[in-house]
Amino acid sequence: MNIIGPDALVFGVENVQDCEQYLLDYGLDSVGDGRFEALDGTSIVVLTKDDASLPPALPTGNTLRKTIYGVADQNTLDAIAEELGKDREVKLLDDGSLEANDDLGFTLGFQITVRKTIDLPAETVNAPGAAPQRPVNVAAADPDAAPKPRSLSHVVYFVPDVAKGEAFYMQRLGFRCTDRFTNAGPFLRPAGTRDHHTLFMIQTPPFLQGCEHFTFHMGGPTEVMQAGTRFVEKGYESFWGPGRHIFGSNWFWYFNSPFGCHVEYDADMDIHDDEWTAREALSTEDTSQIFLFQHREKWFPSGGPPPAKE
Amino acid sequence: MGFDPLDKGQDTLFVVRQGSVLRSYKNDCPHWPGSPMAWRKNEYLTSDRTHIACHGHGARFDIPSGLCISGPCEGQSLQSLELKIDESGHVYVRLEHLSKNTV
């Protein structure tokens, strides 16, 4: 199934204004109708929780109402409709997209992807031993840079039955398992992308079911640091990070949010194909990151005479 | 409102006022100890201001008691901190109560 990845996540919330402001401050652009887009057209949609157009909420009340996947072409949509139609209702919506539930009760959408091809440089690194990655006389550090989220990277679900969830995505929709945390769950990659994962699932008691976090890819580690710092300076609450994960290798920085789940900036994720052999580990402080930092107020060693006593 | 008296770089306690009563709790959700709870500076309450909320996974807590009434840590409680208020209205908290396993 040529599924590329999540095009959009749809949330139904009580505090629409707080959530909208949060997404603007995070760096997404408002394009109307509650949709907030990244540079490639992937998006988060925020509506009031009673909006009649929304699929029903999970019994847990989690604010994620729908995960919309982008696929390569109509053939893929037809194949998905046929496969899922064997044992569940598959709705055809007015815009040509499909809607159906996965085996855990999450509402999924499938559409021909809205992702635009974007042509942006990756972060450049100059290092001894390798050719310089940027031209002479180009200064990389820009304190006024305002890096923007480029593309919806992945979503993480808390699920009551990881084995059941994994079986659905892998056997019915053709996702691959790239790596696995034994006591949590699998990192899943749809066949249409090489990103390490677009979906990760964590085994939890049933009352937690829902979205744990979502994240957008930034252009590199410095963009994660700079966007995260800007976000902290606006008053938002850092939860975990910045740091670098081991599985996936991506830089991460997670924040609390008014959505009832975490929101992350990530960058520089590994890409994989079917030649890769999945790794497995127990998830611990040591297996989930190489290092972990914490934001601090700027300081510098000033070296002059000590300041006058107040 | 959140405060960072130990200069950790992130607020470690917050104070909620209901009418004239002030209560203080450690900014540390019992769901995953070490987890900060606000979603933005000083934002520790639900949008309707009736409960304390943790903005990691949406748990709700009773303001007077700190008891989690819904969410992943239901039945567990926030760690409350004793406040002392002097005649001029200055509010004090004992720092050693705060520094036991801080965020």
Please spell the DSSP secondary structure of A200-263, one letter per residue.
EEEE--GGG-EEEEEEEE-SSHHHHHHHHHHHHHTTB-EEEEEEE-STT--EEEEE--TTSSEE
What ipTM was reported for this prediction? Answer: 0.85
Is B7 in the A-facing interface, judged by CB distances under 8 Å?
A: no
Task: Write out pLDDT tens, residues B36-51.
Answer: 999 999 999 998 999 9
Residue A135 has pLDDT above 60, yes or no: yes
pLDDT band at A126 (very low <50, low <70, confident <90, very high): very high
What pLDDT does B100 receive? 58
Q: Please tell me the distance in Å from B98's CA to the nearest CA on chain A.
A: 19
**Cβ atoms of B25 and B13 closer than 8 Å:** yes
Kindly report which listed range (A230-244, A269-283, B8-22) carries the lowest average pLDDT score.
B8-22
What pLDDT does B103 receive? 43
Is B37 in the A-facing interface, judged by CB distances under 8 Å?
A: yes
Decide if A262 and B41 are in contact by the 8 Å CB cutoff.
Answer: no
Q: Which of B9, B55, B72 is facing A256, going by the closest CB pair?
A: B55
What pLDDT does A302 receive? 85
Residue A308 CA to residue B5 CA, distance in Å, equals 24
The pTM of the full predicted model, rounded to 2 decimals, is 0.93
Residues 44-63 of B with CB under 8 A from A: 46-48, 54-58
Q: Please tell me the distance in Å from B33's CA to the nearest CA on chain A.
A: 12
Residue A180 has pLDDT above 90, yes or no: yes
Decide if A238 and B36 are in contact by the 8 Å CB cutoff.
Answer: yes
Torsional class of A151: left (φ above 0), alpha (ψ -120 to 50), beta (otherwise) = beta
Output the average pLDDT for chain B.
89
pLDDT band at A243 (very low <50, low <70, confident <90, very high): very high
State the Cα angle at A271 between A268 and A274, rounded to 5°.
165
What pLDDT does B102 receive? 44
Output the average pLDDT for chain A.
96
What pLDDT does A204 receive? 94
Residue A263 CA to residue A255 CA, distance in Å, equals 5
User: Which residue of chain A has the CA closest to B9?
Assistant: A296
The fraction of chain B above a pLDDT of 70, given in percent, is 95
Residue A262 has pLDDT above 80, yes or no: yes
Segment (H or E) for A79: helix A74-85
What pLDDT does A256 receive? 96
Residue A292 CA to residue B95 CA, distance in Å, equals 26
What pLDDT does B7 receive? 82
What pLDDT does A117 receive? 96
User: Which residue of chain A has the CA closest to B27?
Assistant: A237
Task: Write out pLDDT tens, residues A4-24.
Answer: 999 999 999 999 999 999 999
State the Cα angle at A205 between A200 and A209, rounded to 5°.
55
Residue B28 has pLDDT above 90, yes or no: yes
DSSP string, A202-219: EE--GGG-EEEEEEEE-S
3 state DSSP class of A21: helix
What pLDDT does A308 receive? 67
Q: Which of B39, B48, B74 is facing A257, going by the closest CB pair?
A: B39
Residue B101 has pLDDT above 60, yes or no: no
Kindly report the number of other CB atoms within 10 A of residue A128's CB atom.
Answer: 4
In this prediction, residues A262-278 reach a mean pLDDT of: 98
Q: Which of A258, A294, A297 is facing B39, going by the closest CB pair?
A: A258
Q: Which of B42, B48, B56 is facing A239, going by the closest CB pair?
A: B56
What pLDDT does A310 receive? 57
